[in-house]
Chains A and B, each alone.
Chain A
Amino acid sequence: MKIVVCIKQVPDTTEVKLDPKTNTLIRDGVPSIINPDDKAGIEAALTLKEQLGGTVTVVCMGPPQADVALREALAMGCDDAILMSDRAFGGSDTYATAHVIAAGLKTLDYDLIITGRQAIDGDTAQVGPQIAEQLGIPQVSYAAEVKTAEDGAVVVKRQFEDRYQLLKVKTPCLITALSELAQPRYMTVSGIVNAYNKEVKVLTFEDVKNNLNPDFIGLKGSPTNVKQSFTKQVKGAGTVINVSADEAVKTIMDKLIEKHII
């Protein structure tokens, strides 16, 4: 099976601190990571490859620094990496981004495309579905489990807040991965060495211009305008305890007594 995973390099929001004076995010010095949902997608792809054979190609649109994210994916075990990078792509919203990535994907041969559900820096959950629309292939979003059927189709468990849907979909198709889809493996020592022996292929505007409409990319091709942005109120992570209602009451009471609140 030929699998393509689309990833995004994002700032590690767990490391982002707030400037108490301006109440804005301090982005300087914040490490970049592979978006967590996308990383689960990589893991799912590698697992499928181990079961069925085939290849996993990882694609990322971004500035040249995004090369780091692709090398990490190679070190996890992906076969090929493609960086879509060009000034012409800069400033793209979700629609324009999907248009560019779809143009890149048209140069590849694939059975399954996996994207993350959404990126932790934008939280739109739009790029994956829009890529499928641009390519004219079926899509299943919010995948919590992926299997293959005997006829080569893909069976996806789609997660809703209160239920699951089990969908069988013909390939080629696109799924968007929840982080629950798979627990990503770590890079390996030899994987890191191999990653540096492999080439990250760069696709520029020139390479994909026949597959896209230049009016639909970059800042001027983006229909979305950001009217205002603000920072979410930061909340503590809290503690989740999965127990029965009776035990939950007791746990809370014990905590309150321990802290002398009651």
Chain B
Amino acid sequence: MDFEFNENQLDLQKMVRELAEKEIGPRAKENDEKDVFPVDVFKMMADMGLTAIGVPESYGGPEATDIERMIAIEEIAKKDGAVATILAVHGMFVQALEKYGTEEQKQRFYPRIAEEGYYTAFALTEPCAGSDPASAKTTAVYDPATDEYVLNGNKCFITGGARADAILVFALTDPSLGAKGMSAFIVEKGMKGFSTGKIEDKMGIRCSETAELFFDDCRVPKANLVGQEGKGFGIAMNSLDGARIGVGAIALGLAEGALDESLSYIEQRVQFGKPISKLQGIQWYIADMATEIETAKWMVYHAAYLRTVGKPYTKEASMCKLHNSKVAREVTNLAMQIHGGYGYMKEYPVERMYRDAKITEIYEGTSEIQKVIIAKQVMSAAKK
């Protein structure tokens, strides 16, 4: 067994850490307050090739796997959970295209992602279809006269939806079949009939710009159908499997960031005549936080490893998300407890980290949905 990152991965970690410490961390407070998508940060990530991870080398992507992607997400999340979310969600489009996209779609979109800083998003959730995506209402009707699909309906809670250059949108091509009638389409910015609505006012990950999308007779060329008609639900589920490892990495990074802040604070804060780091009560919190973080780390990289080598990873991805999101919530909570009253103030980053952590138990499938998936996987394995 090998638990070490290789030299490339260590260099990548160093590179992203530097970006996070010098550029992303210092902007995090302002981005959280302003609640506006950090265009400059996305461009920096694109210039460094981080947004191209997952694009195959033959289309201009870097030689990097899911493990490298997780390293990047983890390091960024240490400083800003919202930026890490933006990067992770962008990766869902990139990954779906690799597995299900046509050759023409790859040639059309991958070079833009690899070289032009193209930003992509993923749109499955609807106002009445969250944990139960098969109950979606958005439809896509094929028009043979123009060889286009006509989309009608709306999506909500779409990360970066109003900024994305292209979005993977799921719609029912045969509503009578439910999940089996769902198909996936690439909707591009500026397509007629496609518009965006309000940006949600959220508790955390504020600058990720969570948007509403509207499709009003939006005509999408057949060339933008991803995978076969009726296979969309499988594409969505597979994309979410991958995304859950990403959420695990975001949660891990948030927890690590909160521990880092705490370690520095306990040396500075003097009570009872000594730094609070000398108090055993505080030391126990630190021990608990560090231990939880250690478990979270291996859940991310084991799941990412399985995905990288092509082994089944659905169960491990769900476990990673379920466990790590809990770790993030608990560790950020302890970090705030350690900071006391100061931690509750926006002046200290743990207040933001605490707010950012909560979403990891909700998006890309709630903790309860993860348990449904895990139980199904475990029970079906037992029957074999």
Contacts and interface: CB of A to CB of B under 8 A. Distances in A.
Kindly name the residue among A190, A191, A192, A193 whose own CB sees the greatest number of chain B CB atoms within 10 A. A192
Contacts of A186: 15, 18-19, 44, 47-48
Nearest to B7: A196
B53 A189 contact: yes
B18 A188 contact: no
A187 B62 contact: no
Interface residues of B, number: 20
A192 B12 CA distance: 7
B94 interface: no
Contact of A196 (B8, B44, B49, B53): B8
Contacts of B19: 186
Interface residues of A, number: 14
A188 B11 contact: no
Kindly name the residue among A75, A188, A191 whose own CB sees the greatest number of chain B CB atoms within 10 A. A188
A187 B11 contact: yes
A106 interface: no
B26 to A, nearest CB: 13
Interface in B261-294: none
B7 A189 contact: no
Nearest to B114: A190
Query: For the complex, would chain B's binding face be called helix, strand, loop or mixed by DSSP majority?
Result: helix
A254 B164 CA distance: 43
B18 A189 contact: no
Given A71-B11, A75-B11, A193 B63 contact: yes
A187 B63 contact: no
B52 interface: yes
Contacts of A189: 12, 48-50, 52-53, 62, 64, 68
Contacts of B11: 71-72, 75, 187, 192, 195
A193 B15 contact: no
A185 interface: yes
Nearest to B15: A187
A192 B47 contact: no
Interface in B1-28: 7-8, 11-12, 14-15, 18-19
A86 B84 CA distance: 44
A75 B63 contact: no
Nearest to A193: B63
A190 to B, nearest CB: 4
A116 B12 CA distance: 25
A188 B8 contact: no
A191 B50 CA distance: 11
Interface of B: 7-8, 11-12, 14-15, 18-19, 44, 47-50, 52-53, 61-64, 68
Interface of A: 71-72, 75, 185-193, 195-196
Q: Which 4 A-B pairs have the closest CB atoms?
A: A189-B49, A189-B62, A190-B62, A188-B49
26 contacts: A72-B11, A72-B14, A75-B11, A75-B15, A186-B15, A186-B18, A186-B44, A186-B47, A186-B48, A187-B11, A188-B49, A188-B62, A189-B48, A189-B50, A189-B52, A189-B62, A189-B64, A190-B49, A190-B62, A192-B8, A192-B15, A193-B8, A193-B62, A193-B64, A195-B11, A196-B8
